[in-house]
C-alpha cells in the first residue's frame, strides 16, 4: 500500500525534496525531522488539491503520524 501512496504523491521535477522524503518513507529511513517536514508538505498540498484527490493525502498523513509517533522519544509520547 505504501508504494502506491508514494507513487501517487511523487511530483518530480516539481518538488524534488518532497520526492526524496517520500523515498525515505518508502524505505523506512525517515528521521523525526524528515517525517515532520514531509507531514507539513503533505498538509499544505492537501489544502490545495481537489476534493476527489484528498484520500491519498489522508492516507499519507495517517502513515506519517504513525512514523512520527514511533520516532518520538519515550518521554514525549
Number of domains in the chain: 1
Tell me the H-state helices in 1-77. Answer: 2-9, 16-26, 32-48, 54-71
pLDDT digits (tens, 9 = 90+) for 17-46: 999 999 999 999 999 999 999 999 999 999
Residues 6+ positions from 8 with CB-CB distance below 8 Å? 56
Residue 77's pLDDT is: 53
Which pTM does this prediction carry? 0.86
Rounded alpha-carbon distances, angstroms, from residue 11 to 8, 17, 55, 70: 8, 10, 17, 27
Per the structure, the complete domain to which residue 66 belongs is given by: 2-76
Which helix (H) or strand (E) segment holds residue 73: the answer is none
Look at the block and give the residue holding cell 524534488. Answer: 16
Amino acid at each position: 500500500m505504501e508504494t502506491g501512496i508514494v507513487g501517487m504523491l511523487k511530483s518530480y521535477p516539481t518538488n524534488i525534496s518532497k520526492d526524496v522524503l517520500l523515498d525515505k518513507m518508502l524505505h523506512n529511513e525517515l528521521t523525526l525531522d524528515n517525517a515532520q517536514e514531509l507531514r507539513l508538505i503533505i498538509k499544505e498540498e492537501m489544502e490545495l488539491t481537489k476534493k476527489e484527490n484528498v484520500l491519498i493525502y489522508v492516507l499519507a498523513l495517517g502513515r506519517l503520524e504513525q512514523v512520527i509517533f514511533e520516532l518520538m522519544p519515550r518521554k514525549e509520547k
